[in-house]
Structure 1
Amino acid sequence: MLITVIGRGHGGTRAMSHTLSASGVYMGAQLNESGDLIPPEDMYEACRVFAHYVEHRGGLNWDFSRVLTGPIDPEFVRLVESFLASVLQSNAPRRGWKLPETTLVLPWIVRMFPDAYFIYWTRDPRDSILAPHLTDDLSDFGVPYERTDDVRLRRAVSWRYQYEIMRITPPPRHRIDVRFEDFVLDQEATLKRLEAFLGFELARIPVRPESVGRWRSDPGPYDFPFFPRHCLYCNGER
């Protein structure tokens, strides 16, 4: 079984990675404190290869048709397999990985690993963009967009781009959608859903309820009109 966690940086994906590790899933030979598989450089370069096939149509519009229908670049395959070498070569019955930048190349990851189990992880974007992340400036990964010097807006655009990638990618054979807020505020019910999806028992890790709704005490800006309203989380109501 191969498992991967898909979600933007600062989306709380470390909670899922730590849960999988604590549950006996082999998450790679070397992990950082966030539960990311490292070193990440080959995946970063794979993101840049992928970005060559994405066309920016202006504003918040991108054309992903080439990555959805065209062949996967062989260099991309080589880089991803190099990044995942310790995972792919492991004899562990349950293997997986987590690296937020995987989201930037989701369509080709789904095509490369059609039998993998995908955990689509989301968090209220108002919380996700409060802190800096490597993917804040999409141009660092070769993604074309209208760059801005407004740091929060730049993060918000990056969030929207990754939202669009997840939206347009044909659903994997094995997929479950999980909200960070549900994992934190109703961990037991969320883990039961995940256990039914994965087919094995999961460990319970400590969570911090105060990590939900941090945007409320932030001076802002933290909300943008292009955040889909259904992605926001307000006391359990979206």
Structure 2
Amino acid sequence: MLVTVIGRGHSGTRAMSQTLSESGVYMGEPLNTSWDLLPPQDMYEACRVFGKYVRYTGNMKWDFSRVMAMDPDPAFVKLIESYLKSVLTSDRDKKGWKIPETTLVYPWIRKMFPKAYYIHWVRDPRDCILKKHMTDDLNDFGIEYDKTEDVRRNRAISWYYQRELVRSTPVAQREIHIRFEDMIFKQDETLKRLEQFLHIPMAKIPMRTDSVGRYKTDEEVHMFDFFKKDMEECGYDF
């Protein structure tokens, strides 16, 4: 079994990676304190290779037709295989990885690993964009957009872009959608869903309830109109 987590940075994917690891899934090595597989440089470069084939058409719309139609660029494949070396060469029967940048290349990851188990992870974007993350500026990964001087807005656009990219990708053979908030307030129910999906017993890790709704004490802008469709789709009130 090969499993990975698809979710933006600061969406709480650390909890899912830790849960998988403590459930007996080998998540590669070494890992950082966020339970990301390191070193990340080859993944970052793979994102830039992918980005060359995405065309920005303006008004927060991107054309993903080339990446959806073509096979992954050989340079991309080489970089991903290098990044995942500890996972792919392991003889463990249950293995996987987590790093938020996987979301930036999800269509080609799906093509490379069509039989993998994909855990789609989402968090209320108002909480998700409060802190700085490597993926805040899409330009760093070769993705064009209407960049502004407003760092928080750029971060929000990155969140939206990643939702659009995942939404545009055909449904995987094996995928499940999990909300960070449900892992906190409905953990037993969520773990049961994961057990049915992965067919393995799931460990229960401590979760902090104060991780939810942090935006309520935030004094900067944390809500954008373009969040609304996705928030409604994911069951978040606004």
Contact 2:26/2:96 (8 A) holds in 1: yes
CA distance in 1, matches of 2:13, 2:165: 17
Paired positions, count: 238
Alignment deviations for residues 13-53 of structure 1 (CA, whole Å, 9 cap, x no partner) = 00000001111110002000000000000000000000000
Matches of residues 1-238 of structure 1 in structure 2 within 5 Å?
Answer: 1-231=1-231
Give the TM-score taking structure 1 as reference length.
0.97
Q: Distance in 1 between matches of 2:127 and 2:212?
A: 8
Kept after mapping to 2: 8 A contact 1:125/1:232? no
Residues 27, 87 of structure 2: 8 Å contact kept = yes
SS of the equivalent of 2:53 reads: coil
Shift of 1:229: 4.1
In terms of mean alpha carbon deviation, does 148-157 or 223-232 score higher? 223-232
User: Counterpart amino acid of 1:25?
Assistant: V
Deviation at 1:97, TM superposition (A): 0.1
* Distance in 1 (alpha carbons) for counterparts of 2:99 and 2:185: 24
Q: Match of 1:185, as an amino acid?
A: F
Per-residue deviation at 1:235?
9.8
Give me the whole-angstrom Cα distance separating, in 2, the residues matched to 1:180 and 1:161: 19
**Superposed CA RMSD:** 1.6
Pairwise CA distance, 1:70: 1.5
Deviation at 1:233, TM superposition (A): 10
> Closer, same or farther in 2 for the Cα pair 1:233/1:51, shift >3 Å?
closer
Paired amino acid for 2:224: F
Identity %: 58
**What's the offset of the Cα at 1:72?**
1.4
Unaligned stretches of 5+ residues in structure 1:
none
Q: How many Å separate the matches in 2 of 1:195 and 1:226?
A: 34
Q: Is the 8 A contact 2:71 2:111 kept in 1?
A: no
Contact 2:67/2:107 (8 A) holds in 1? yes
Structure 1 residue 232, shift from structure 2 partner: 5.9
Give the TM-score normalised by structure 2. Answer: 0.97
2:114·2:172 contact (CA, 8 Å) conserved in 1?
yes
The amino acid that maps onto 2:182 is D
Shift of 1:237: 5.3
Aligned residue for 2:118, secondary structure, equals strand
Distance 2:185 2:129 in 1: 20
Give the match's secondary structure for 2:203: coil
Q: Which amino acid aligns with 1:136?
A: D
Deviation at 1:220, TM superposition (A): 2.1
